Amino acid sequence: MVNQELLDILACPQCKGPVLLNEAGDGLVCNTCHLLYEIRDDIPVMLVDEAKPVDELT
């Protein structure tokens, strides 16, 4: 699980907006860019090139 302090300071690398933990707890979603940043081994992968598009936002 990602530390809440870390979640509070993380921002989308593309738009610099807030990111939210998805329902499954395995990624961070940017509602502005419609991107999902995966969390691997409890580390968010905040790279735009590795982000996945999100059709339905949480």
pLDDT in tens, the chain (58 residues): 788 898 899 999 999 999 999 999 999 999 999 999 999 998 999 999 999 999 854 4
Q: pLDDT at position 55, please?
A: 80
Residue that the structure tokens 């999902």 belong to: 36
Domain locations in the chain as residue ranges: 4-53
CA dihedral 26, 50, 16, 19 (to 10 degrees): -10
Alpha-carbon distance 54 to 10, whole Å? 19
Model confidence, pTM: 0.87
* CATH class, 4-53 region: mainly beta
Q: pLDDT at position 1, please?
A: 72
How wide is the angle at C-alpha 18 spanned by C-alphas 28 and 21, nearest 5°?
A: 25
Q: pLDDT at position 7, please?
A: 87
